[in-house]
Structure 1
Amino acid sequence: MSFRSVLLLAGFVLAALNLRPAIAGVSPLLDEIMDDVGLTPAGGGAITTVMVVCLGLFGPVTPLLARRFGLDRTLLAGLLVIATGLTLRGLGGAPVLYLGSALAATAIAVMNVSMPGIVKQHFPTKVNLMTGVYVSMVVAGAAASSALVIPLEHATGYGWRGVSALLAVPALLAALLWLPQAVRRPEGAGNGPRPFGAVLRSRVTWYVTALMGLQSLTFYVMLAWLPTIYLEAGLAADQAGYLLSLTNLVQVGTSLAVPVLAGRRASQVPYVMAACVLTVAGYLGVLLAPMTVPWLWMVVLGIGQGASFALALLIIALRPANPAEVTALSAVAQSVGYVIAALGPLLFGLLRQASGGWTVPLVTGLVMLGAQLVAGWFAGRPAVLVKASLDPCER
């Protein structure tokens, strides 16, 4: 492997690692942030909600940026903006907290949409493998940040504000590694095809969008509130953070293996169904017996959610024929999907306030998983996204 290939792979991996710490790093510190800034539980949940809303709202600009500047330069800009947002959100009160979070999430939105296209552009013969690598690094970043923010806070004495700024360092390092790709002649920039029309007319797009949104909703609910659920059940803050880290760590291996296996088959339906059933089992464990074998529920939940996320992104990468179509499908599925997902953490916070416990929110999550099961059945079936000879019933 040449030095250029090593640099490409290293930059790709580290860029993927930066796609979740800005979000996952909030949850273990949420009680401290709420006390410091003066937020209610709904206001605390709104931090994640604001970020997930931005993931939905700003993803559609990515194909425009990619056509103008190329995917590589778009990714580099995203890394720099993430670092800026992470630094900003610890510098003031609630407005600055939300503003910095929104800025970081906007950059993540652009990178989320860019990455499947980058896989198709730089690794066209290894889409299954590199999708697995990409997704596993995303969840590894979430696991590392949720596990390390509290120990890092204790070790440095900086508090949540300083820890937020420290999370910007990996983003800056990733930008440095990706710089050689960005300074090259941009691929995919200019007056290329505009596949949005065909993508929007395809039924496949909306099946994939529903799967992406519902699996993201059930994931971000747990990302935002799982440590708080266990804090209220009697665990210490660091132990609650470790449980969240465990479920995220399990997702690393799952999300690496599942795309390689599922990508070998024309239909991903069996894998999508199995992943959803495991997520249901994890939710039921947290609802009915959270303190009995919490590590087991985290493992089951991690397998289910990691596989669901990886399969949604794999389907996005497999159905289109070229990077432009991948980016367009990714923009639609992730943008609309994350708008759906944004309702989750805020809804859970409101239901927690209204009901005084976690039973009603978790039962609501199970209902959402039922809808995810249906969406996965349609999204996982073999289909071609955009093709001139495509049967009209698949459009």
Structure 2
Amino acid sequence: MAGFALAALNLRPAIAGISPLLDEIMDDVGLSPAGGGAITTVMVVCLGVFGPLTPLLARRFGLDRTLLAGLVVIAAGVMLRGLDGAPVLYLGSALAATAIAVMNVSMPGIVKQHFPSRVNLLTGVYVSCVVAGATIASAVVIPLERATGFGWRGVSALLAVPALLAALLWLPQALGGQAGTQNGPRPFGAVLRSRTTWYVTALMGLQSLTFYVMLAWLPTIFVEAGLPADQAGYLLSLTNLVQVGTSLAIPVLAGRRASQVPYVVGAGLLTVLGYLGMLLAPAAAPWLWMIVLGIGQGASFALALLIIALRPADPASVTALSAVAQSVGYAIAALGPVLFGFLRQVSGGWTVPLLAGLGAVGAQIVAGWFAGRPATLGKANL
């Protein structure tokens, strides 16, 4: 359990820990703003591209050993990008993100394999640790840099420590767990033919899109509404913090029911309320809007991953469904911040972008309605 939880905590710090240090990185390495932004872009692209490798690795080595390798590669990647030069910065970031992509896809299968009777509880633990890891990383990298005097390179290398600790805790499980087999089930084709797969993929992609839009643009929206820049940053931290508790509680409740539709719809409606608050009165009650938005988005993320773990009948099918939903989902999500910014540029304000965001949340609710209905995806009936 400790190794599982700490592994989940390592799924976002390598990405979230870059943003607070980005200005310093650009000055030190000599990158333009576009080059600095490309660090995150490279990582998000890797999240989408390399996730489909996971079922192949799991068949060959087993889920437990695949997760162990992912932790070791994350540590290698964050240490590599702290070396001198832009090429190793990008290479290390890509290496860490590739490992994260594989681990993202592995985790629902590991839940199904080791905790089949407690999928709801362990999904809550997993998702809350993911969100907590991102929140902690973005909050502590600057204080850690000031306290240690290491600079951004040293702080980046320190992010390898929790990954190596998680690997150490997971090592006994990996050595004693199930090995892979080339003769194992090959559920990819059946997964791709299932309509439920595409409902789940749409839910995963659309909830990720609306989240990354807010992650990229929320502080700017509040600053242009007249709030101080520091308060705008605190509001972003608040909505992320709210998601930690929500993502732990919601899977426990929703997993007890055959249908997750009421929870998916409720989470979507809360996200709608958060968007409407920013559209109609962003400066009137910003803390309230961020709490509502955090509950909605945290619940939506947790429910998408819970449904991925619940619907298939076996760990191999869970891993295949997770690979499809997360890879395509991250590709959809990567378009969100760019399109949102483009709509802001051509319209001259935030009304049109926020209306588009509301449309995306509406589509998310529709996809969740179908994805949340009771169904079983098994090797024989996918």
Q: Which moved more, 1:23-32 or 1:245-254?
A: 23-32
Contact 1:146–1:244 (Cα < 8 Å) also in 2: no
C-alpha spacing 1:167/1:185, structure 2 compared with 1 (3 Å):
closer
Is the 1:213–1:337 contact (alpha carbons within 8 Å) kept by the matching residues of 2? yes
In the alignment, is the contact (CA less than 8 A) between 2:64 and 2:177 conserved in 1? no
- Share of identical aligned residues, percent? 83
Superposed displacement of residue 321, structure 1: 0.7
1:208 aligns with 2:204: no
Does 2:35 align with 1:39? no
Alpha-carbon distance, 1:371 to partner: 1.8
Which of 61, 66, 77 is the equivalent residue of 2:69?
77
Task: Assess, with a 3 A threshold, how the Cα gap between structure 1 residues 295 and 31 changes in structure 2: closer, same or farther.
Answer: farther
User: After superposition, what is the alpha-carbon deviation per residue over 1:278-336, rounded to whole angstroms, capped at 9, x for unaligned?
Assistant: 11222333344444433222211111111001100111111111111111111111111
1:320 matched to which residue of 2?
Answer: 312
The residue number in structure 1 matching 2:111 is 119
**What SS does the aligned partner of 1:56 have?**
helix
What are the within-5 Å matches in structure 2 for residues 278-357 of structure 1?
278-351=270-343
Q: 1:4 maps to which residue?
A: none
1:63 aligns with one of 40, 52, 55: 55
Q: 2:139 aligns with which of 147, 152, 167?
A: 147
Q: Do the aligned residues in 2 keep the contact of 1:46 with 1:346 (CA within 8 Å)?
A: no
Aligned-partner SS, 2:71 = helix
Q: Which deviates the most, 220-229 or 315-324? A: 220-229
**Residues 164-223 of structure 1: CA distance to partner in whole angstroms, max 9, x if unpaired?**
222222111111111111222534544211111211111000100010111111112223
Number of residue-to-residue matches in the alignment? 380
Normalised to the residue count of structure 1, the TM-score between the two structures is 0.88
- 293-302 vs 360-369, greater mean Cα deviation: 360-369
In structure 2, the CA distance between the partners of 1:373 and 1:172, relative to structure 1 (3 Å rule), is same
Tell me which of 269, 272, 277 is aligned to 2:264.
272
* Amino acid aligned to 1:102: A
CA RMSD of aligned residues (A): 2.5
Change over 3 Å in CA distance of 1:280–1:33 after alignment to 2 = farther
* TM, length-normalised to structure 2: 0.90
CA–CA separation in structure 2 for the residues paired with 1:94 and 1:292: 44
Cα gap change, 1:231/1:175 in structure 2, threshold over 3 Å: closer, same or farther? farther
Structure 1 contact 49–344 (Cα < 8 Å) conserved:
no
More displaced, 79-88 or 218-227? 218-227
Question: Distance between the aligned counterparts of 2:3 and 2:341, measured in 1?
Answer: 37
Asked if the contact 2:121/2:251 (under 8 Å) is kept, the reply is: yes
Q: What CA distance in whole angstroms lies between the structure 2 residues aligned with 1:351 and 1:102? A: 29
1:177 to 169, 172, 178: 169
One-letter code of the match for 1:81?
A: V
Quick check: 156-165 or 333-342, which moved more? 156-165
Report the CA distance between 1:119 and its aligned residue: 0.5
Question: Which residue of 371, 379, 383 corresponds with 2:363?
Answer: 371
1:130 deviates by: 0.6
Say which of 45, 49, 54 aligns to 2:46. Answer: 54
> Which residue of 238, 241, 252 corresponds with 2:244?
252
SS at match of 1:212: helix
1:101 is displaced (CA, Å) by 2.2
Task: Look up the match of 2:6.
Answer: 14
* AA at the equivalent of 1:243: L
**Retained in 1: the 8 A contact 2:187–2:379?**
no
Which segment is superposed worse, 242-251 or 304-313? 242-251
Separation (CA, whole Å) in 1 of partners of 2:350 and 2:252: 36
> What SS class does the counterpart of residue 52 from structure 2 fall into?
helix
Q: Does 1:235 align with 2:228?
A: yes
Q: 1:74 to 1:306 in 2, by over 3 A?
A: same
> What's the CA shift for 1:372?
1.2
Change (3 A) 1:228 1:31: farther
Counterpart code for 1:213:
G
| CA deviations over 1:126-163 (Å, ceiling 9, x no partner) | 11111111111111111111222232233334444433
